[in-house]
Each structure stands twice: as C-alpha cells, then as structure tokens.
Structure 1
Amino acid sequence: MAVHWKLVVDCADPIRLASFWAEALGYVVEDHSVLIDHLLGVGAIGADDHTTVDGRKAWRHAAGVRHPDDPFDPANGVGLGRRLLFQAVPEPKRGKNRLHIDVHVGPEERDREVKRLTGLGATVLGVVQEPGTHHVTMADPEGNEFDVQ
C-alpha cells in the first residue's frame, strides 16, 4: 500500500523559504488562517504563535507549499498531495544536504530557469556535465542545495 508523504525542510525562516519555493515550483503557499483563527478562538495558541503574511494569518514556526492541482483540507489549509513543509529550527544549516530537490525544466529551458531562480534569491553553486547528466546545482536563500535539469 502506498503512503502519503511530505518533504520537511528545517530552516531559519519558513515564511521566506515557502515564498521562494512556491515561486520556484509554481506551487501555492498553504493558507492556514482558518486553523489559526480556530485555535486562537479556543485559546489553544496565542498572538506570538502567528504573524500576518499577505493579509492572512500564518504560523511563525512553519509554512507549507502545495501543488495547485492537488486537494487540500479546507479546515486547516494543509495540502493532501505534493507538498513541502518548512519548519523553523534554532540551529543553522551545516554541510551539504543529504536530500535535495531536482527541478526538471529540460535542456532548452535550463539557462532561463537558472536566471529566473537567481532573481528569486537562489545562487548558482556549479554546473555539472557528466555522462548522462547536465544540470546546474543551486542553493535556495538559506543555502539548501537543489539541481536544475
């Protein structure tokens, strides 16, 4: 039986990374405001637990992005399909990622996509040309590596 999953990325600024990855992948930032309003209403969370982003309440400690065509739970805004969750942690990133995202745009769009992602705050780490692959290794605004193929 196949299981549901999400990729969780530890980071310093989940709102910033969610915004970057939503733009990078054409995903949407999850809207958790209904859940936050509910939890505020029953006293389960306080004002320090959330902030406002684009006129909506958002968690300070976590932000998710989801594929725009996938279903989501309207009661909490959580995506039920392809999803990335960015979670605040106190320690900084150390070393190379053991898991990374490959962005597939094709060889004819690779250079244009690298330029677009650089404009969003990514940096180019290197170009890899080996038998069977040609891709650009980049880092998101917090230094998490990913490849553009």
Structure 2
Amino acid sequence: MALNWKLAIDSTNAPALADFWASALEYEVEDPGPLIEQLLAAGHIGEEAATEHRGRKVFRGYAAIRHPEDPFDATSGVGRGRRLLFQDVPEEKSGKNRLHLDVHSEPGGLDDLVARLEGLGATRVREVDRGPAGHWWVMQDPEGNEFCAA
C-alpha cells in the first residue's frame, strides 16, 4: 500500500511561502482556522500559538498546501495526500538544496510557465538545454529555494 506524504520546507515566512507555492502549483492553502478555534476554546493552546494571515487564523510559524483533488480533514484542514508543509526556522538558507521540486508545463508551455512563476515572485537562475534530453530553467522561490521549471 502506498503511503501519504508531506514534504517539509524550512522557511522564514511560512504563510507567504505557502501562498507562493499554492499559486505556483495550483494547490490550496490549508485552513487550520476551525482547529485553532477549538484548541483555543478548550485552553489547549494560547493566543501566542496563532496569528492571522489574509484574514484567517493560522499556526504561528507554520503553513501547508495540499493538492485540491486529495482528501483532507474538514476540522483541521490537513490534507491526506500530496502536501507541502512550510515551517519557520531561525537560520537563513545557506548552500544548494539537496532536494528540489520540478514544476512541469504543458507541452510547449515552458515560456508561459516561467513568466507566470516570475509574476508570482520566482527568479530565473540559469537555463539548461540538453537538446532531445530536455530543456528547463533552474529558478528560485521568493526565499531562494531552488526548483526547476520544465
């Protein structure tokens, strides 16, 4: 049986990076608001554990996105399939990623994909053209994490 997974990504502003990647991948930002309200009301967490982002309560230092077609828990907002979790860490990114995402365009749509990603805040790093073996752009998200647009 295949396992569900999430990829955890260190960040300095988890909600903002989740917004970028949700737009880039056409995923949905998870809404933990109902769970936070329940935990606050029961006294299980204090107000310092939550903050607001775009008018919704979120856990301070965390945000996640999920594939829109995958199942999710209605109370917690947590996806039960393909997910990315962003978690704030105190240190800045240093060095090259050891793991990265490849974002694929429709056939013949690489230029449009790269332009859309730049419009969301990504930057081009370098173009790679291997002829018949492939053509892609190495890019960085707004916090400098490398990924490929192919």
In which range does the TM-score fall when normalised by the shorter chain? over 0.9
Supply the distance in 1 between the matched residues of 2:128 and 2:142 (Cα, whole angstroms). 21
Which residue of the partner structure matches residue 111 of structure 1? 111
3-state SS in 2 of match to 1:69: coil
Tell whether 2:140 aligns with 1:144: no
AA aligned to 2:105 is V
AA aligned to 1:72 is F
TM alignment of 1:1-149, pairs within 5 A: 1-131=1-131, 132-149=133-150
Per-residue Cα deviation, 1:103-131 (whole angstroms, up to 9, x for no partner) = 01145111111111111110000000125
| Percent identity for Structure 1 against Structure 2 | 54
TM-score, normalised relative to structure 1: 0.95
TM-score, normalised relative to structure 2: 0.95
Q: Runs in 1 of length 4+ with deviation above 6 angstroms?
A: none
AA aligned to 2:35 is L
Aligned CA-pair RMSD: 1.1
Supply the distance in 2 between the matched residues of 1:34 and 1:100 (Cα, whole angstroms). 32
3-state SS in 2 of match to 1:6: strand
Residue segments in structure 2 that go unaligned for 5+ positions in a row: none
AA aligned to 2:9 is V
